[in-house]
Chains A and B, each alone.
Chain A
Amino acid sequence: MKERLDSEYISQLADEFLEIAKKFNDYRFEKISQQKISHETFLDMGKKSTQLMKTAREMKLLSTLIVGEETATAILKLENINKEIKSSITSLIDIQKAFDFIGALGDLGLSIIDKNPAAISDNINFLSDLVKEKTS
C-alpha cells in the first residue's frame, strides 16, 4: 500500500508544480501587460515556467514507474511550502523574489526526478527559508 501512496503523492506533487507554473505564467502576463517588466525579463520568466512544467512531466512519468520510499519520505514536507508559494506568488511585487521561488522549485523538481534524497532535503530547506523571508 505504501508504494501506491508514494506513486499518488508524486503525481499530486506534479499537479502542484503545474498549478504554480500556471500562477507564475499569470503573474508574468500581468506584469508585461502593466509594462512592469522588460520583454527580456518576460521571456526569461517564460523559460522558468517551461522548466517547471518539464519537471511536472517527469514527475508524472516517475509516478507511473514508481518512486523509491526514501525519496517519498524526503518530499512529504513539501505540501505546506507549495501552498504558501501558490498563495503568495501572484501577489509578489518583488520580481526577484518570484524568480527565486520558481528557480528553487525547479531545482527541487530536478532532485526529485534524480531521486536524490540529500539534494531534495537541501532544496526543501532553501525553499522553506525563502518562504519564511517572504513577501513584499
Chain B
Amino acid sequence: MHLFFRNAVYLASVLAISCTSLKPVQDLSTEALDGIGQFRELDYSFHTSCIEDCTFSKISEVEIERKLNCSCESYQLADDQVYNMYLALIDYWEGLYQLSSMNINQYNLSRPTVALRTTNLIQLKDEHLLAFQKLSEISLKAVTGQYRKNKIKTYMAEADTYQQIISDKLTFVLRENLSGLLAIQEEGWYAYYKTLTYDPTLNTVDKALATDKYYKLLENNKTRNNQITVLIEVIDLISQKHHQLVEAGTKSNSAGFREEVGRISRDLHTLHYAFEQLKK
C-alpha cells in the first residue's frame, strides 16, 4: 500500500512537471499561430495589385470591353509563392502546438506534404528549397513519433535556421515587393490625377472631384500598408524570439522560459490588437 502510494505520488509529480513544462510552448505556439494567421486577413496581394492596376489603366484610357481582360497569371504565381511560405511557417507552429498539447491525432499530416508539393520548387533556389523541405520534414517527424514531448528543445533547435530563412524571405517579399507595389500604384494615381488638373477641357468641379478621388485612394492604401507593416513585425518578432529561445538554450520548464514566453505573448497581443484596429 505504501509502495502504491509512493508510486502514485511519483506519477502525479511527473505528470504535473510535464504539463507545466509544455504549457509555455503551447501558449507560444498559439500566439504564433494567431499572429502569423493575420496573413489571411490581408486586404492586398500581388494578384489584387495587378487587377487594380489593369483596371486603372483601362479607366485612364476610357477603354470599355465586355470583360475585364487582364493577364495577371504571373502575379498569381507570386501569391502562390508567398502563400507557401506562410503555410510552411503555420505548419511548423501547428506541429509544435500539437506536440506540446500531446494532441497529435488531430494534426493533419497531409498539410506539410501538400505545401511541399504545391510549392513552385523551380522558382526557389537551394537555400529556400532546403528550408522548405527541412521544416516540413521536421513537422512530420514531430507528429509521427520521432520526437517526444521532452524533445521539444531539440525540435525547435533543428527547425530554427529554417524557420528564420523562410520568415526572412517572407518579410522581405512583403516589405520590399508587396508594399513596393503600393508605392508604385500611388505614384500612378498621383501622375494621373495631377495631370487631370492641367486639363484645359475640365472645369473646377471636375478637378475637385478628381482631387477627392485621389485622396480617398491614398487613404485606403495607407490602411493596407499599415496591415502589411504590422504583419511583418509579427513574423519578425516570432522568428527572433524563437531564435533567442533556442540560442539561450533555455530549459522549457524553467521560470525564465515561462517569463520570456509571457513577454512575447504580450508583445504579440499588442500587435494583434493593432492589426484588429486597422480592420475597422
Contact = CB atoms under 8 A, between A and B. Distances in A.
A49 B190 CA distance: 11
Contacts of B49: 57
A61 B123 contact: no
B200 A14 contact: no
Given A46-B195, A64-B173, A22 B187 contact: yes
B191 A49 contact: yes
Contacts of A82: none
Contacts of B82: 64
A61 B71 CA distance: 14
B74 interface: yes
Nearest to A12: B176
Contacts of B214: none
A18 B123 contact: no
Interface stretch (B33-41, B178-186, B202-210, B267-275): B178-186
A3 B181 contact: no
A132 B82 CA distance: 42
Interface string A45-68: 010011001001100110111100
| Contact-residue bracket for chain B | 20 to 34
Interface in B30-55: 46, 49, 53
Given A53-B184, A61-B46, A65-B78, A29 B177 contact: no
Interface in B191-231: 191, 194-195, 198, 200
Nearest to B72: A61
A14 B180 contact: yes
B77 interface: yes
Contacts of A29: 194, 198
Interface in B50-90: 53, 74-75, 77-78, 81-82
Interface residues of A, number: 31
Contacts of A49: 191
Contacts of A46: 191, 195
Nearest to A63: B177
A65 B74 contact: yes
Given A3-B127, A21-B191, 18 more contacts: A8-B172, A8-B176, A11-B176, A12-B176, A14-B180, A18-B183, A25-B191, A25-B194, A43-B195, A46-B191, A53-B188, A53-B191, A56-B180, A56-B184, A60-B180, A60-B184, A64-B177, A66-B125
Interface of B: 46, 49, 53, 74-75, 77-78, 81-82, 123-128, 169, 172-173, 176-177, 180-181, 183-184, 187-188, 190-191, 194-195, 198, 200
